[in-house]
Structure 1
Amino acid sequence: MQRIALINTELQRVDGKLGLAKHRKMAANPYIFMRGAAQLFYADIANEVLRLPAALLQLPLTTVMGDCHLGNFGFLTEEGSHGDQVIFSPNDFDDACIGHAVWDLSRFSTSLLLCADYCQGISQGRYEGEPQNLGKPAISQELAQQAIALFLAQYLQVCRASIDAPESRMKVLNLFSKPHILAKKQRKAVARAAGGEQFLSKSALAKVVDLTQHSPRFRYLPKKFRPLTAEQEKDLRCTFAPYMDDSILDVTRRLDAGTGSANMQRYYLLVGPEGELAASDLPLCHIVEIKKQRAAAPLHWFADLSPVNRLNAAHLTASCQRRMQRRPDLLLDEVLWQGEHYLVRSRHHARVGVAPEDIGLGNKAINGGFLDYARACGQALALAHCRGDRRSVRFESAMVTQLPLHMEALQKSVSSYAKLQLNDCNLLKSLLETKV
């Protein structure tokens, strides 16, 4: 009963109440449960339910993602919608803060194991999924364990390289060729970037904006968008116009999106040159997201690790994103509006994410593709962590000394925790059933 009470308390603490659409999503399977319950992950670390090697908690702190799992990596353009260099990297910084690197390592490793359970469940019909995925070969738990080992090995390799050549921490992952499992995703992202052959049809801009008109406007998408009142729109335009890089052409409220922050208020601004636009002008337009920011998931339990973490939630996210990325979004800021802190950032034209089905189902996945994905994420995460302190290699030196000594213990702890998440998902189901 203590466990079910903790789940109930932590979900209501962050989300306000139990029974939201977000919670029903989370009850569908343990992988989605993990994605939506980052606060429970840190409660479990604080309470030593998830026992991380003490030596790894004594390493120098760095900037961490906070909600590091396999779905929070993908393709995007450097400098946001202002750039054209497509890279593979972490793509979610909403829970970023100054913290322990082992938090990200253990959370990502847990997600690999839960991905295996999820994909097996989709293939076997235990979890709801697309009909075409029934019966597909799925990655095994044994393969997921191999993926954890490779993820950690690649992470260490990048840290070692940074010690020998500190400038190497400014490298990026941008070249994936066949048969790498990310090659197709990369081609898709390049095609959606400004100047790409699918920019006018498949980019983040094209999906929600009518680009056939001389004056682009958001599409009528009632499941995604809700119009603002005239007074709301005037207030929003007045407040945020100074932070934009061009004119605000249109505004809308974005309805629930994502899992971890599905209940956070957000708006989209269409920004670009005023007046009638030719096709050649459309790459100058982009979408800016304005999102109310809550405190990073680790900070309720680990509030005193660093003075930097006392920044307001939106400022902290922007600060950490700037450190972790080589060339962060050119439009990235925080604004106090109506008594709340909002994060302002450009949405990437070419953003392409990775779903567990993409890397955990099919012959390519079981024949090396899943392992390739884990390797790539290990490299990308290490680059982000190593950029936390660009003055020295203290972090990297400590990591390459200690992590090899404790990898086995870390993997054992993560394996036990993944099994607990399977049970937690069932406990959430029972909570929601009693609420109904």
Structure 2
Amino acid sequence: MTILATAPPAHRPPRRPAEGEPNGSRQHGSRQHGAGPDAARRADQGRAARASAPRRAHAEYVSAPDRADPIDLIDRQSRSRVPELVPLRYQRMTESPFRFYRGAAAIMASDLAATPTSGLTVQLCGDAHLLNFRLLASPERRLVFDINDFDETLPGPWEWDVKRFATSLVIAARANGFGSAERRGIVTTAVGAYRGWMHRFATMTNLDVWYAHIDVDELAPRLTDALGKQASKRVSRATSRARSRDRLRAFAKLTEVVDGERRFAADPPLLVPISELHTGRDRDLLMRWLSSIVEEYSATLSADRRSLLARYRLVDFARKVVGVGSVGTRCWVALLLGRDDGDPLLLQIKEAETSVLADHLSGSAYGNQGERVVAGQRLMQAASDIFLGWQRVDGLDGHKRDFYVRQLQDWKGIAEPERMDPDGLALFGRLCAATLARAHARSGDSIAIAAYLGGGTTFDRAVGAFAEAYADQNEADHAALVEAVRSGRVSATAP
């Protein structure tokens, strides 16, 4: 998503809301939500939290003497995954510090557990790095900008998401060769945007916060006015690319006709049709097992969406590799057809494991990890996929496994930070920060958090310092994985 690459300089934390204003906030932003005794009490609670967790204290990060071995943490996750795919996960994580960071949420969760927190809780994304913010389709067929990954979602300290996001900006900026002053400006601008938006959401009614979203078609003219015609062209190209990444494109790319029937096309190890994983009775058993997941998960959809799903028939399944941190989890794609070959539906059936945050927080209200993911996504996203649901099944290996299901591809636009200049990354950071603040405001106390943050830049600068320090730690951990591969401690193979 390179539409932000020509943003104007933004090296000072904004006092006013950043670009990417969620719909609805301009109309109601001046009306103080709950401006009575309860609001005052909540604001006092936020300010009082500074006593136990001063805002300057968020700058601190020092590797503890008894810090867990990062390779052990990654290896512990790998033990429950598909063995033949684990080396691919390690190979992807060795490619760069940023790719390592994408797979190292468990390591950072362990480190964040030792940092100060305000005691104010929200629904966390749990993995809020900048590539988990992207263009998506709403059920109304509007292109929106939102968070996209909720595998680690859990209630917890809002600061953890902010720090993981801020650190991802530093790592991306270092990869692009930006200097320390540029990196500092990018991060403090983004954190300042989060702070400014949390203040804005604190003045809005609960329903206005809930309805707030970033509509790309409405955002584009504002960016064009601010950035000029070149930005307009980039906005148009990015939105066109996102809209082209739909189910028909995925259908054409991932399937082929075999003996007159549509089937998934093999692209091992990234996409392996069920017919190439097993033959005979084992293949039939796996086919029935996967079919039962799709059939039974529909009970978690609303009645109208169950009716829509029932209009499609199952045709084929394949195992699919996704992401970096998720490599090795059991992930399947299902091909369904409606009235004909021009009416495909592609569903992703992804294993949901225990959140990496669970060892450090009070845990989930949901016993089913798939339901945990879906509930967190519905709470944090402005508009979720109409086929989003979950299911628990007895695995063919005898272990119970939780899955969540959603469409495989539906108007997705992915950021390309490596193509952004400092101004572009700064503007993209502000857009992500506005989105993160809105997601947190839907589940947390925006009045208390805004009061804790205050009107100055103390918190912004503190998180900027933390992000630089943790980016150093991430580079050291990446180097440790590279050495572990070189020494044979772990195995990494390219696809």
TM-score normalised according to structure 2 size:
0.71
- Whether the 8 Å CA contact 2:333–2:346 is kept in 1: the answer is yes
Amino acid at match of 1:165: M
Instruction: State the secondary structure of the residue aligned to 2:329.
Output: coil
1:81-96 aligned at under 5 Å gives the runs 83-96=140-153
Identity, in percent, stands at 20
Cα distance change on mapping 1:212 and 1:398 into 2, 3 Å: farther
**Cα deviations across residues 143-199 of structure 1 (Å, max 9, x unaligned)?**
222111111122122212212223045222222345176553223113445xxxxx7
Per the TM alignment, residue 350 of structure 1 is displaced from its structure 2 partner at its CA by: 1.0
CA distance in 2 between partners of 1:212 and 1:401 (Å) = 62
1:248–1:269 contact (8 Å) kept in structure 2: no
Deviations 1:368-387 (A, max 9, x none): 21111111111111111111
Q: Deviations over 1:269-324 (max 9, x none)?
A: 123415x34x4xx3xx321111111111211222x1x653x533211110000001
Whole-angstrom CA distance in 2 between matches of 1:115 and 1:204: 28
The whole-number CA distance in structure 2 between the counterparts of 1:342 and 1:185 is: 31
Aligned to 2:98: 31
Q: Indicate the residue corresponding to 1:253 in structure 2.
A: 318
3-state SS of 2:336 partner: strand
8 Å contact from structure 1 (residues 162, 396) kept in 2: no
Alpha-carbon distance, 1:358 to partner: 3.2
Q: Trace 1:157-172 onto structure 2 (pairs within 5 A).
A: 157-166=196-205, 167-172=208-213
> Which runs of no fewer than 5 residues in structure 1 stay unpaired?
121-138, 194-198, 360-364
- Supply the AA of the counterpart residue of 1:325: Q
AA in 2 matched with 1:433:
R
Distance 2:134 2:331 in 1: 22
Secondary structure, counterpart of 2:146 in structure 1:
strand
Q: Is 2:75 the partner of 1:12?
A: yes
CA, structure 1 residues 340+356, in 2 after alignment: closer, same or farther (shift >3 Å)? same
Is the CA contact (8 Å cut-off) linking 1:154 and 1:379 kept in structure 2?
A: yes
Provide the C-alpha distance between the structure 1 equivalents of 2:482 and 2:338, rounded to a whole number of angstroms: 49
Aligned position for 2:486: 433
SS in 2 for 1:20: helix
- In structure 1, distance between residues paired with 2:70 and 2:245: 40
**Matched residue, 1:266:** 331
Contact 1:97 1:320 in 2 (8 A): yes
2:133 pairs, out of 65, 73, 77, with: 73
| Other-structure match for 1:209 | 255
**Following TM superposition, by how much is the alpha carbon of 1:115 offset from its aligned partner in structure 2, in angstroms?**
0.8
1: CA distance between counterparts of 2:146 and 2:180? 25
8 Å contact kept, 1:226–1:254: yes
Q: Say if 1:4 and 1:427, in contact at 8 Å, map to a contact too.
A: no
Q: What is the alpha-carbon distance in structure 1 between the residues aligned to residue 439 and residue 405 of structure 2? A: 21
Aligned equivalents of 1:321 and 1:97: distance in 2?
10
Match of 1:132 in 2: none
Give the distance between the partners of 1:160 and 1:5, measured in 2 at CA: 37
Aligned to 1:227: 273
Show the 5 A alignment for 1:8-407. Answer: 8-16=71-79, 20-46=87-113, 48=114, 51=115, 54=116, 57-79=117-139, 83-120=140-177, 139-166=178-205, 167-173=208-214, 174=216, 175-176=219-220, 177=224, 178-179=230-231, 184-193=237-246, 200=248, 203-210=249-256, 216-228=262-274, 229-242=283-296, 243=298, 245-246=309-310, 247-274=312-339, 276-277=340-341, 279=342, 282=343, 285-302=344-361, 304=362, 308=365, 310-338=366-394, 339-359=400-420, 365-366=421-422, 368-389=423-444, 393-401=446-454, 404-407=457-460
Counterpart code for 1:151: A
Structure 1 residues 397 and 350: CA distance shift in structure 2, 3 A: same
Which residue does the alignment assign to 1:409?
Answer: 462
Relative to structure 1, the CA distance from residue 45 to residue 253 in structure 2 (aligned partners, 3 Å threshold; closer, same or farther) is same
Q: Output the aligned Cα RMSD.
A: 2.9
Between Structure 1 and Structure 2, how many residues are aligned?
384
Instruction: Find the structure with the greater CA-based Rg.
Output: 2
Q: Conserved in 1, the CA contact under 8 Å of 2:264 and 2:273? A: no
Secondary structure, in 3 states, of the residue corresponding to 2:294? helix
Q: Secondary structure at the match of 2:123?
A: strand
Question: Is there any run of 5+ residues in structure 2 with no aligned partner, and where?
Answer: 1-63, 225-229, 275-282, 299-305, 395-399, 490-495
**SS of the residue 1:326 aligns to:** coil
Distance 1:87 1:321, change over 3 A: same
Compute the displacement of 1:2 (Å): 6.8
Inter-partner Cα distance in structure 1 for 2:135 and 2:251: 16
Per-residue deviation at 1:212?
12
Q: In structure 1, what is the Cα distance between the partners aligned to 2:470 and 2:210?
A: 31
SS at match of 1:329: coil
**Cα distance between partner residues in 2 of 1:290 and 1:45:** 30
> 1:326 deviation in Å?
1.7
Deviations 1:193-246 (A, max 9, x none): 5xxxxx74xx33433235999965433434432232122112221332241613
1:350-400 Cα offsets, whole Å, 9 max, x none, are 1121233233xxxxx24x2111111111111111111115xx644554454
What's the CA shift for 1:12?
Answer: 1.3
Mapped contact 1:70–1:112 kept (Cα < 8 A): yes
- Which amino acid is the alignment partner of residue 179 of structure 1? A
Against the structure 1 CA distance between its residues 212 and 384, is the aligned structure 2 distance closer, same or farther, given a 3 Å change threshold?
farther
8 Å contact kept, 1:251–1:267: no
**What amino acid does structure 1 have at the position aligned with 2:284?**
A
Contact map agreement 1:96 1:320 (CA 8 A) in 2: yes
